[in-house]
Amino acid sequence: MSTLPDVRGRLTPDKPLSELTWLRVGGPADWVFQPADVADLQGFLRDLPSDVTVFPMGVGSNLIVRDGGLRAVVIRLGRGFNGISVEGSRVTAGAAALDAHVARKAADAGVDLTFLRTIPGAVGGAVTMNAGCYGSYVADHLIEVRVVLRSGALVTLPASELELSYRSSSLPAEAVVIEAVFDGHNGDPATLHARMEDQLAKRDATQPTKDRTAGSTFRNPAGFSSTGEADDVHDLKAWKVIDDAGMRGATRGGAQMSPKHSNFLVNTGTATAADLEGLGEEVRKRVFEHSGIELQWEIKRVGEPLAETTQPDVG
């Protein structure tokens, strides 16, 4: 294995990623690096041998890491990258700031980023995934992001260069988002907080928010997320086509398609990444057979499966 550069932050070898993902599955990363600050991250990436892969990770709420783990250095931003400040209608947030904290702090200052309140990720993941719900997306509010490129260079990219679309973006490969600037409409703080309480209650009523999941498993074939409004049409919702194919509640090992919301994959306690991914693939197959629709994964699946164990030849 290559020698890694000296750092001021924390470098941990063979870190089990099951400890860092919402689904609580995933084998070890070769290394996890938590930089002390931006200069530490820049120096590390500049001096890291070019054959070492870098994988930036948020809080793992949209990830299945396979059971064999990741042959990479996982970059996990923490303290030093989670500041939030508000100036007028502009909100600047570090990539490690939780979406919910950003929404609350913005609302305190009378800025409407309420759509972020019920999304469990952090800002770097929200930008990468163009996270959204209830009819609003990051793309509607993002002004620019600061990223550290794989070369170690620190650059600012305007939102217009990120090709933000339904659950996707086009950040440079292996670039680490360190900060994002959003713009929100002004609103009355009490009204904004009340709206967020409503949205939380709506989520708890319809989604398995207390279970180990990674949110929606597949993109809606319609090409957009639910608005939560009364006139929302369900024909091309992933949950509807999964229901129609009879897969609500289906299981494999410790994995289950949630009985509460059929587009949520749940680790009921003993699931491996292979159980979860295998069940997801089974759902895709059944939906295709039933309706001809090819569901696309929304959850990112990364890493390698566990190597097959072979019996050594004896005698």
Ligand X SMILES: Cc1cc2nc3c(=O)[nH]c(=O)nc-3n(C[C@H](O)[C@H](O)[C@H](O)COP(=O)(O)OP(=O)(O)OC[C@H]3O[C@@H](n4cnc5c(N)ncnc54)[C@H](O)[C@@H]3O)c2cc1C
Q: Judging by beta carbons within 10 Å of its beta carbon (0-12, 13-18, 19+), is residue 75 exposed, middle or buried?
A: buried
Structure tokens at 59: 């809080």
**Polymer length in residues for the chain:** 315
Q: Quick one: 21 or 272, whose CB is closer to ligand X? A: 21
The CA-CA-CA angle for residues 104, 156, 148, to 5°, reads 90
| Residue 122 engages ligand X in binding (rule: CB under 6 A) | yes
Instruction: Report which secondary-structure segment, H or E, holds 159.
Output: none
Contact 62, 300 (CB under 8 A): yes
117, 146, 167, 284: the active-site residue? 167
In angstroms, give the least distance from the CB of 29 to ligand X: 12
In angstroms, give the least distance from the CB of 160 to ligand X: 18
Residue list 5-64, contact with ligand X (CB under 6 A): 22, 55-63
Contact 27, 41 (CB under 8 A): no
In angstroms, give the least distance from the CB of 313 to ligand X: 41
Torsions phi, psi for 30 (to 5 deg): -55, -45
174, 179, 277, 298: the active-site residue? 298
| Residue 176 engages ligand X in binding (rule: CB under 6 A) | yes
Stretch that binds ligand X, among 25-33, 129-137, 192-200, 270-278 (CB under 6 A): 129-137
| Cβ neighbours around 156 below 10 Å, total | 11
Stretch that binds ligand X, among 100-108, 130-138, 151-159, 266-274 (CB under 6 A): 130-138
Look up 286 and say whether it is catalytic.
no
| Residue 120 engages ligand X in binding (rule: CB under 6 A) | yes
In angstroms, give the least distance from the CB of 52 to ligand X: 16
Query: What residues have CB less than 8 Å from 96, skipping those under 6 apart?
Result: 58, 77, 78, 79, 81, 82, 122, 123, 124
Structure tokens at 204: 């708890």
> Which of 53, 82, 151, 209 touches ligand X (CB under 6 A)?
209
Gyration radius (Cα) of the chain, Å = 20
216, 225, 258, 262: the active-site residue? 216
Contact 116, 69 (CB under 8 A): no
| Residue 95 engages ligand X in binding (rule: CB under 6 A) | yes
| Dihedral, 227, 217, 249, 241 alpha carbons, nearest 10 | 60
| Residue 125 engages ligand X in binding (rule: CB under 6 A) | yes
| Residue 65 engages ligand X in binding (rule: CB under 6 A) | no
Tell which residue, 286, 253, 285, has the closest CA to residue 268.
Answer: 253
Look up 203 and say whether it is catalytic.
no
Stretch that binds ligand X, among 131-139, 251-259, 271-279, 285-293 (CB under 6 A): 131-139
Stretch that binds ligand X, among 106-114, 210-218, 250-258, 265-273 (CB under 6 A): 210-218
Binding site for ligand X (CB under 6 A): 22, 55-63, 77, 95, 119-122, 124-126, 128-129, 131-133, 176-177, 209, 213-215, 300
Write out the catalytic residue numbers.
Answer: 167, 216, 298
